[in-house]
Amino acid sequence: SQKIEQNSEALNIQEGKTATLTCNYTNYSPAYLQWYRQDPGRGPVFLLLIRENEKEKRKERLKVTFDTTLKQSLFHITASQPADSATYLCALEGQGAQKLVFGQGTRLTINP
Amino acid sequence: SAVISQKPSRDICQRGTSLTIQCQVDSQVTMMFWYRQQPGQSLTLIATANQGSEATYESGFVIDKFPISRPNLTFSTLTVSNMSPEDSSIYLCSVEGSGGAEVLVTDTQYFGPGTRLTVL
């Protein structure tokens, strides 16, 4: 069956360190994978999209990798700050145009 | 990114009643989506709403329970009908990123703030 799994439900990181979140999937062949940030009481906010022919993408302190052989994406936040504390969701292309399927999210807390 | 608003932001409803949630976008978009996010869970797609055609529902969701309207390219409504406590959830609308608008990234989605529904 198809699955998207984000390996940690919750992750606590010391401020200044790099936070690494994992997203694994099975029985999908997505053309792209995306990462979103969700704060309590708000809708998800798009962060980064990486396509199947891209190995890595960066945006400021964020870096995403996409390994279609391992069926895995890693999401890194370098020089983490307490303001980075949020739930991070990975999402990939589902069946049908524009449909996204979301992982269950990882709740990241950056401790001062 | 697109500015998306939802009304109401939250509501508390009685079992057996219905609630209509509105989603307004500040630009014209072809595809709008409705999601449900149950407490502590991730997002589950309910249906895709295209202007001028019937909404397309995902497995486990039916039109009688979640009727959707899409009268134009900037507006959609989702009705949660004959509610039960199991319908307590956050309901979110989203719109596709469009390659035609320079600030929207193709293949992404932009979400509204959500409607928090509690059914007693």
Confidence (pLDDT) at B103:
45
Residue among B96, B108, B113 minimizing CB distance to A43: B113
pLDDT for B73-119, tens place per residue? 999 999 999 999 999 999 999 998 654 444 445 678 899 999 999 99
**Encoded tokens for A30:** 């997505």
Three-state SS string over B20-84 comes to EEEEEECCCCCEEEEEEECCCCCEEEEEEEECCCCCEECCCCCCCCCCEEEEECCEEEEEECCCC
Q: Which of B25, B77, B92 is nearest to A42 (CA)?
A: B92
Suggest the residue from B23, B38, B42 to mutate for an interface test with chain A (most A CBs closer than 10 A). B42
Q: How far apart are CA A111 and CA A78, in angstroms?
A: 14
Task: Say yes or no for a CB contact (<8 Å) between B105 and A49.
Answer: yes
What pLDDT is recorded for position A107?
95
Q: Which of A1, A66, A79, A69 is nearest to A35 (CA)?
A: A66
For the segment B17-45, what is each residue's pLDDT rounded down to a tens digit? 999 999 999 988 888 999 999 988 889 99
Closest CB from A32, A98, A102 relative to B96: A98
Predicted local confidence at residue B41, as pLDDT? 85
pLDDT in tens, A50-102: 988 999 999 999 999 999 999 999 999 999 999 999 999 999 987 665 688 99
Q: B37 to chain A nearest CA, in Å? A: 10
For the cut 90, the answer to whether the pLDDT of residue B3 exceeds it is no
What pLDDT is stored for residue B106 in this prediction?
65
Q: pLDDT at position B42, please?
A: 86
Q: What percent of chain A has pLDDT over 90?
A: 75
Q: Which residues of B touch A32 (CB under 8 A)?
A: 107
Name the residue among A104, A75, A74 with its Cα closest to residue A9. A104
3-state DSSP call for residue B86?
helix
Give A30 to chain B, closest Cα distance, Å. 12
- Is A44 close to B112, i.e. CB distance below 8 A? no
Residue B8, preceding peptide bond in cis (omega within 30° of 0): yes
Closest of A52, A77, A57 to residue A67, by C-alpha: A52
In 3D, which of A103, A101, A98, A87 has the Cα closest to residue A44?
A: A87
Q: What is the pLDDT of residue A25?
A: 94
pLDDT at B101: 43
Cβ-based neighbour number of residue A64 at 10 Å: 24
